[in-house]
Amino acid sequence: MDAVYDNLDLFWSGFLRSLGICLWGMAGSLVLGTLIAAFRVSPIPALRWFGTAWVTLIRNCPLTVVLFMFAFGLPELGINVSYYLFGVSALVLYTSAFVCEAIRSGINSVQLGQAEAARAIGLTFGQTLGQVILPQALRSSLPPLGSVIIAMFKNSALVGAFGVGGDLWGVGNQLTSAQGYDALPVFTGVAIGYLCITLPAAALLATVERKVAIAR
Amino acid sequence: MTATAQPTSTDDLVVLSGVNKYFGDMHALKDVNLSVKRGEVVVVIGPSGSGKSTLCRTINRLETISDGSITIVGEKLPEEGKGLANLRAEVGMVFQSFNLFAHKTILENVTLGPIKVRKVKKDAAQKRGMELLERVGVAHQAEKYPAQLSGGQQQRVAIARALAMDPKVMLFDEPTSALDPEMIKEVLDVMVDLAKGGMTMVVVTHEMGFARTAGDRVVFMDEGAIVEEATPEEFFTNPQTERAKDFLGKILKH
């Protein structure tokens, strides 16, 4: 395991870089996914149509293709930002479709009467969703949402493979192919790095689930 | 007489004219004309599937109508958006299945509308909320969640929640149909008090006792149409139509 001990600082910076991608990806996809879910249940047909098209299109494309389109396709259209931003954007876009569906499954689990009662006291569509439906939807959305987010954390390695550089996957790649370290110890280190992100995330999720379960 | 030409006095709070509603091929409401005067208590009765709940739900547009028009306080019911939300705030609704917000406490249920829709300050809304909960007799449960209350208590909270918006008219869609017999009375008592206090009410119910004591007018529906309209006294002692006689014969002879 010298490969890991010798390069602890490299692993540490890779870990932070990956953590950054994960957290931005999570924040972005939660916001975007919730918005798309709101579109899908909105009273305006055009928004519903847009939401459905979004999910259908993006959920059924491989992430690698989405990443390719961002990293190499968008520059052809004259859009040039850093690979980091391209990578995170692609990850957000891709994950938002899954977040949307997890949240929508939660929305569908809330009794119709709740929305009717909210509308009957004069709440607008946005207030009905924000005050009454989503807080209750969250309870049943959390388990699938957790799976989606953890899958996204792991997908972030693919973003690294697209030349973002400096993330955990990139560190592993650099140590093995450029510096000739053995793959097994290096990628064991990489795996531990990812577990350091995903395991606390899973624990946090379990805690939040317990919390919202009591609140009723 | 066309629907739009029908003159309406300024006293008419709710006016339905020529309302039709289809669920697919099913003609759920057939050319319904109904005006409810300020302070009037209209009790809608009829067999299951006669369209009385649908009628009630069209008044605040929880159910859209296929044609005809509905006005509330002289204003035509808007189709969607902010205008509809504003109008709904003026119309209190009590559901068969209570529909209290499950994730909010009893007090929060009663204050949500005033705070979010009327923009009342939180402490003022809470003070008024507690008064209303006091009035319906559940003030001591204010910090609990809906699931911790009995059905009767939940329905009384639902009435308080509607009252908190200071509605011009209250709709009751079979408010006691999901309750145990013992709890029906506690809810009806609150409703009778409201009626005595001058609240304008449209009540869909199977409680003939309530219709007799608190109703100003009985509307009898069958197969989506209003078949008969009369004072409770007239309706129960001397129904005019065969259908009403048949219905009363079935429910009153036990």
Identify the residue with better confidence: A193 or B81: A193
Q: How much of chain B is in helix, strand and coil states, percent to nearest 5? A: 40, 25, 35
Model's pTM, two decimal places? Answer: 0.85
Contacts of A98 (CB under 8 A, 6+ apart): A29, A33, A59, A148, A151, A152
A73: its two tokens: 């396709």
pLDDT of residue B4: 44
Residue B1 scores a pLDDT above 50: no
Q: Which two tokens stand for residue A205?
A: 């999720």
Mean pLDDT within A192-207: 91
Look at the block and give the residue holding tokens 């109508």. Answer: B65
Alpha helix (H) residue ranges in chain A: 2-6, 8-41, 45-59, 63-68, 74-76, 83-109, 112-120, 125-127, 134-159, 168-173, 183-214
User: Are A112 and B96 contacting, i.e. CB atoms less than 8 angstroms apart?
Assistant: no
Residue B80: is its pLDDT beyond 90?
no
Contact between residue B159 and residue B186 where contact means Cβ atoms under 8 Å apart? no
Quick one: CA torsion of A205, A209, A215, A216, rounded to 10 degrees? Answer: 150
Q: What pLDDT is recorded for position A215? A: 53
Token pair, residue B176, equals: 């006691």
Q: Beta strands B91-94 and B169-173: pairing type?
A: parallel
DSSP secondary structure code for residue A164 in this structure: I
The reply to whether residue B103 touches residue A43, judged by beta carbons under 8 angstroms, is: no
Mean pLDDT of B165-175: 95
> In chain B, positions 60-79, which contact chain A (CB-CB < 8 Å)?
60, 62
Q: Among A70-84, B30-44, B170-184, whose mean pLDDT is lowest?
A: A70-84
Looking at the predicted structure, is the pLDDT value of residue B133 above 60? yes
Contact B224, B27 (CB under 8 A): yes
Of B2-16, B23-37, B64-78, which gets the smallest average pLDDT? B2-16
3-state secondary structure A72-88: HHHHHCCCCCCHHHHHH
Burial class of residue B219 (count of CB atoms within 10 Å of its CB; 0-12, 13-18, 19+): buried
User: Hey, are the CB atoms on B93 and A215 less than 8 Å from each other?
Assistant: no
Token pair of B232 as six digits: 């409770």
Average pLDDT over residues B197-214: 93
Is B196 within 8 Å of chain A by CB?
no
Contact yes or no for B51/B29 (Cβ under 8 A): yes
Cα A71 to Cα A85: distance, rounded to the nearest angstrom: 9
Residues of B in contact with A215 (CB under 8 A): 103
Residue B149, pLDDT > 90, answer yes
Q: What is the mean pLDDT of residues B120-135?
A: 96
Res. B6 pLDDT band, cuts 50 70 90: very low
Confidence band, pLDDT 50/70/90 cuts, at residue B229: very high
Of B81, B89, B102, nearest to A121 by CB-CB distance is B89
DSSP bridge pairs for B172: B94, B203
* pLDDT surpasses 50 at B215: yes
Q: Tell me how crowded residue A194 is: count the other CB atoms within 10 A of its CB.
A: 19
Q: How confident is the model at residue B253 (pLDDT cuts 50, 70, 90)?
A: low
pLDDT at B139: 95
Mutate to test the interface with B, among A119, A121, A132, A133 (most CBs of B within 10 A): A121
Q: Which of A131, A135, A136 sits opposite B116 (nearest CB)?
A: A131
Q: What is the ipTM of this complex?
A: 0.89
Assess A121–B contact: CB distance below 8 Å, yes or no.
Answer: yes
Whether residue A120 and residue B80 make contact (CB cut-off 8 A), yes or no, is no
Backbone angles phi, psi at B50, to 5 degrees: -85, -5
With both helix axes pointing from N to C terminus, report the angle between B181-196 and B151-163 in degrees, rounded to the nearest 10. Answer: 20
pLDDT at B8 over 70: no
Q: Which residues pair with B20 in a beta bridge?
A: B67
* B112/A131 Cβ within 8 A: yes
Q: What is the pLDDT of residue B104?
A: 94
Greater confidence (A126 vs A162) lies with: A126
Give me the CATH topology for the region A2-215: MetI-like fold (1.10.3720)
- pLDDT for the residue B110: 97
State the CB neighbour count (10 A cutoff) for residue A177.
10
Least confident of A176-180, B33-37, B198-202: A176-180
Picking from A99-108, A130-139, B78-87, which range would have the lowest pLDDT averaged per residue?
A: B78-87
Higher pLDDT, A82 or B217: B217
Mean pLDDT of B174-201: 92
Question: If you average pLDDT over every residue of chain B, what do you get?
Answer: 91
Please tell me which of A40-44, A162-166, A173-177, B249-253 the model is most confident about, judged by mean pLDDT: A40-44
* Mutation target among B94, B95, B101 for the A interface, most CBs of A within 10 A: B101
Domain boundary assignment for chain A: 2-215
Query: Over 90: is that where the pLDDT of A25 sits?
Result: yes
Instruction: Assess whether pLDDT exceeds 50 at residue A100.
Output: yes
Q: Which of B77, B21, B1, B11 is nearest to B221 (CA)?
A: B21
- Is the pLDDT at B190 greater than 90, yes or no? yes
pLDDT tens digits, residue range A57-99?
A: 999 999 999 988 888 888 889 888 888 888 899 999 999 999 9
User: B42, B215 in Cβ contact below 8 A?
Assistant: yes
